[in-house]
Amino acid sequence: MKKQETSLTFLEQFLPHGAFEQVAPFFKSHTIHLTLTHERKSVLGDYRHPDPNNPYHRISVNANLNPYSFLITLLHELAHLYTFVHFQFKAPPHGKEWKTQFRHILIPFMGKRFFPADVEKALYAYLHNPAASTCTDAHLYKSLYRYDDHKPGFKLVDDVGTNQYFETEDGEVYQKLEKLRTRTRCKNVGSGKVYFFQGIVEVKARRIKEE
């Protein structure tokens, strides 16, 4: 799916119920061109500041995100916008200035049932030190992952049982051996070599070892 410019009313269908009314004022106070895309895997959203060829703020968000991930990503990019408005090029991309703006923008959405209880609990913890991506916070990522549309058989490494098997995107099969503090020790069935996986990696569960 190619990027497409999005009208403000069209945005409502991608947000949690009732959140649109609280999001809309951001677009009325600044000239923002919003685009949606399905094409990116490693980036959930993006912000570009005005320049001589594009004299307006530009935000893009992946359209395939669940409503809660979509809202968090949109607010993440709006925080970049406000950081630029206040500090121009003097602030680093995800420095203390952006963290402050993100907290100020996100907190008013908390406690209003826009997010499920488990996501909101993870968000409160995440706000102590918000990172460049929700993917770097395992607790928040796993909370949001529960509300994604998953293909049958796919799950996170953390959700695979010990001694069970799973297949990665490249077709390699592994056995989960031991969950450590931050990673999981797994054995490649073909080579016998041991590898360490992050718990939030999505894999395809395998019921039995295939020879």
Residues of the chain with pLDDT under 50: 1-2, 4-5, 209-211
**Alpha helices (H) along the chain:** 20-29, 67-87, 96-106, 117-126, 138-145
- What b-and-e string marks burial along 133-151, b requiring 16 or more CB atoms within 10 Å of the CB? bbbebeebbbbbbebeeee
Q: Say yes or no: 124 and 190 in one domain.
A: no
pLDDT (0 to 100) of residue 188: 97
Q: Which residue range is the domain that position 131 belongs to? A: 4-145
Residue 89 lies in a domain: yes
**pTM of the complete model:** 0.88
The Cα–Cα gap between 132 and 111 comes to 23
Residue 107 lies in a domain: yes
Q: Say yes or no: 15 and 109 in one domain.
A: yes
Residue 15 lies in a domain: yes
pLDDT digits (tens, 9 = 90+) for 20-29: 999 999 998 8
Q: What percent of the chain has pLDDT over 70?
A: 93
Terminal C-alpha separation, the chain: 38
Q: How many domains does the chain have?
A: 2
Angle between helices 20-29 and 67-87 (to 10 degrees): 30
Task: Return the residue matching tokens 């923008």.
Answer: 105
Q: Say yes or no: 103 and 196 in one domain.
A: no
User: Which helix (H) or strand (E) is 136 found in, with range?
Assistant: none
Q: Say yes or no: 137 and 169 in one domain.
A: no
Residue 180 lies in a domain: yes
Q: Say yes or no: 126 and 167 in one domain.
A: no
Residue 136 lies in a domain: yes
For position 193, which CATH number holds? 2.30.30.30
Q: Say yes or no: 118 and 193 in one domain.
A: no
Q: Say yes or no: 141 and 167 in one domain.
A: no
Residue 211 lies in a domain: no
pLDDT (0 to 100) of residue 211: 46
Q: Say yes or no: 131 and 102 in one domain.
A: yes
Q: Say yes or no: 127 and 160 in one domain.
A: no
The Cα–Cα gap between 63 and 197 comes to 28
Last residue of a domain, one of 120, 145, 170: 145
Q: What does each C-alpha distance from 114 to 13, 22, 27, 121 come to in angstroms?
A: 14, 11, 19, 12
Residue 191 lies in a domain: yes
Cβ atoms of 19 and 109 closer than 8 Å: yes
pLDDT (0 to 100) of residue 7: 63
In DSSP terms, which residues pair with 60 in a beta bridge? 35, 46
Q: Say yes or no: 58 and 118 in one domain.
A: yes
Q: Say yes or no: 97 and 193 in one domain.
A: no
Last residue of a domain, one of 94, 116, 145: 145
pLDDT (0 to 100) of residue 2: 46
